[in-house]
Amino acid sequence: MCGMSQHPVRSSPSRPVRPDASMSLLTNVMEHSLDDGYAEAAARRGTEGRSGMPRTLRAKLVLASGLVLAALVVTLGAAQARFEAPTEARERQELVDRIRNDSRDADELQKSVDGLREEVGAMQREALQEHGGDSGEVVALLAGAVPVEGPGVELVVDDAEESGPGEGGGPRRSTSFSDTGRVRDRDLQRVVNGLWESGAEAISINGQRLTALSAIRAAGDAILVDNKPLAPPYTLLAVGDGERLSSRFRSSGDGRYLEVLRENYDIRTSISVEDRVRLPAAPSLTVRTAEPVKTGEGSTS
């Protein structure tokens, strides 16, 4: 076996190693903190800023353009509103005129209805007086078909007056229907029945003539007499022997009931004897039954 002589291997001289060679990445970050792309973009913007318009001037121009646009919009809106205003005023006036004309027509129709109702009532009263025989006047009186005038009584029933003053210094009235200081429909019903029982020949409440078919009811806070709302104070007029009618009513159960309302709930009442009271005829009467009456020998109508 041949031996081979061994010669030492010589290496080429190398550069000295940097002390921070192991921190090359950190060194690169510290030396190049801004990316090359960002640096180029910043340089380009700086060049455009120097060669173009100053930023402050551009901002002012943008603001001025916005103000001009807003002013234009406001001007156009005002012009349009001014243009449409006469049209709206004209339409409003036309609507007002239509309402006035319709109201005038309704008033004329109501007058016509009232006139026809008066004619029908007059014919009914004439028929009762002509064909009713000896009892015609009594029937017309009891039916409320004719106005009546004579001695009688005036009975006033009003809500209780509260202790505090109302608007304008006047008495304050209750607004709740459940308040016991208010006159209710059943109170008026008892008073009216008591007057009939005491001998009244005809009765009216606030000018509303009562008949055998009249109804006194409540609708919310209002009291209705034959579907007509009435407001306090309630003035009842009754035709009859004034002194006797007043005395009998005071001593009746309904008169004592009214006195209890006055003592316990401060309902205000007053009754006076009158030499002459006048009651109107009932506003409308409905003929429910009729019988033929002989007007001559062998003929009927």
Categorize the per-residue pLDDT at 243 as very low, low, confident or very high, splitting at 50, 70 and 90. Answer: very high
Least-confidence region, from 76-85, 88-97, 144-153, 203-212: 76-85
Render the burial of 153-185: b for 16+ CB within 10 Å, e for the rest. bbbebbbbbeeeeeeeeeeebeeeeeeebbbbb
What is residue 236's predicted lDDT score, i.e. its pLDDT? 94
CB 267 within 8 A of CB 134: no
What is residue 45's predicted lDDT score, i.e. its pLDDT? 63
Predicted model pTM: 0.52
For the chain, which residues make up each domain, given as ranges?
34-131, 148-279
pLDDT at 48 over 90: no
Better pLDDT: 14 or 228: 228
> Is domain 148-279 in CATH 3.30.70.1880, yes or no?
yes
Categorize the per-residue pLDDT at 43 as very low, low, confident or very high, splitting at 50, 70 and 90. Answer: low
Residue 280 CB neighbours (<10 A) = 14
What is residue 84's predicted lDDT score, i.e. its pLDDT? 65
Q: What is the mean pLDDT of the chain?
A: 75
Better pLDDT: 285 or 152: 152
What is residue 172's predicted lDDT score, i.e. its pLDDT? 42
pLDDT at 12 over 60: no
Better pLDDT: 282 or 46: 282
CA angle 25/29/31 to nearest 5° reads 115
Helix 185-197 to helix 242-251 angle (10° resolution) is 120
What is residue 143's predicted lDDT score, i.e. its pLDDT? 74
